[in-house]
Amino acid sequence: MSKGRATVAQLRKMHPGNQFLRLSAVISVLLIVLAWMTGGFVLSDVFSRRRLDNLARFLGELQPEPFRDGQFEAQALGHWVWSLLKDHGLEATFITLAISVAAIVLAGLGALLVALPTARNVASSEPFLPAGRRPSWTKRALWQSLLVATRVVLIFLRSIPEYVWAFGLLAMLGPGAWPAVLALALHNTGILGKLGGEVIENTEPATAKALRGLGSTRSQIASVSLLPAALPRFLLYFFHRWETCVREATVLGILGFASLGYWIHLDARARNRYDQMVFYVLLAAALVLAGDLVSAAARRVVRRAA
């Protein structure tokens, strides 16, 4: 034990603490104290009598309806669960899943279209190998403009949250599931397009250089070398973003279409039926968990195949 302590002390002498990190820690603590003092936070309000009464009432309303009379019958609970599933639960779950799948498929197709022009090694006047003669200024400017324009569009798409896209599309398209589908697709196209471009930029250049040296065109190199090499990594990102789409499709039900979010926010909560609200929340959590498991399994298969 003493030898270990001596070793730790020796390591500390060899690598003294970073003053910047210490200063950052002190500043962080001071900012927290300042925010607490100036933000109007009063801890006693949290435990006031009114808030405790509201908490007790809320916890009581969380109990499933069959349990509120003090009797705990499994048959009554099963009937209550089945009635919620039959009336709205199963249909809302299917709609939520369908929205997430439609959105991520559109986003994946859009990302594949823009991934090539956003990659520096493709959107270049001299792709993969220098040309025998330096390209003209006009050609270099055109390719640079394409690269910059594509990246700006992708930044714009992913910088706007899904909810903002959804409310704007709702005003243009009216009520329905399409505003949510397109909102998720646009936002995730920006993310997957950027990631796809980075994957293409980081692919092993040897094959592309060899094909270019043999006279292959840019499109031939992309279809034969770049896209097949980048596809496994792109699919990993694709399934990861699908997990997010499942979660966001649940929340975007507040727009008015009958997904799980609609029954959670605009139906059960609006009617103060908190037991039904919790049931739909748990159903959404189960859907997200199932989506995560499917996504993890798909990514595992892709890793092995790669």
pLDDT grade, residue 129 (50/70/90)?
Answer: low
The CA-based angle 188-234-148, given to 5 degrees, is 60
Q: Given this model, what pLDDT does residue 54 score?
A: 72
Task: Categorize the per-residue pLDDT at 174 as very low, low, confident or very high, splitting at 50, 70 and 90.
Answer: confident
Give the per-residue pLDDT at 187. Answer: 95
Q: Please report the pLDDT score of residue 1 as a whole number.
A: 52
Query: pLDDT by residue (tens digit) across 236-280?
Result: 889 889 888 888 888 887 777 777 877 777 666 666 677 788 888
Q: Look at residue 41 in the predicted model and tell me its pLDDT.
A: 67
Q: Average of pLDDT values for 192-209?
A: 87
Residues 6 or more apart in contact with residue 132 via CB below 8 angstroms:
none
pTM, entire model: 0.74
The sign of the torsion formed by the CA atoms of 182, 231, 96, 286 equals: negative
Tens of pLDDT, residues 38-67: 766 666 666 677 777 777 776 666 677 666
pLDDT, one tens digit per residue, over 218-244 is 788 888 888 888 888 888 889 889 888
Mean pLDDT of 5-22: 63
User: Residue 124 pLDDT more than 80?
Assistant: no
Reported as a pLDDT band with limits 50, 70 and 90, residue 186 is very high
In this predicted structure, the answer to whether residue 98 has a pLDDT above a threshold of 70 is: yes
pLDDT at 255 (0 to 100)? 76
- Cβ 154 vs Cβ 186: under 8 Å: no
Least confident of 14-18, 70-74, 198-202, 259-263: 14-18
Torsion sign across C-alpha atoms 63, 68, 70, 72 = negative
Mean pLDDT of 67-83: 73
Look up residue 36 and give its amino acid: W
Q: How confident is the model at residue 101 (pLDDT cuts 50, 70, 90)?
A: very high
Whether 15 has a pLDDT exceeding 60, the answer reads no
SS (H, E, C) 200-249: HHCCCHHHHHHHHHCCCCHHHHHHHHHHHHHHHHHHHHHHHHHHHHHHHH
Residue type (1 letter), 135: P
* Mean pLDDT of all residues belonging to the chain: 80
Helices (H), the chain: 2-14, 19-38, 43-46, 49-62, 74-84, 90-115, 137-159, 162-173, 178-201, 205-213, 218-221, 227-251, 260-261, 274-305
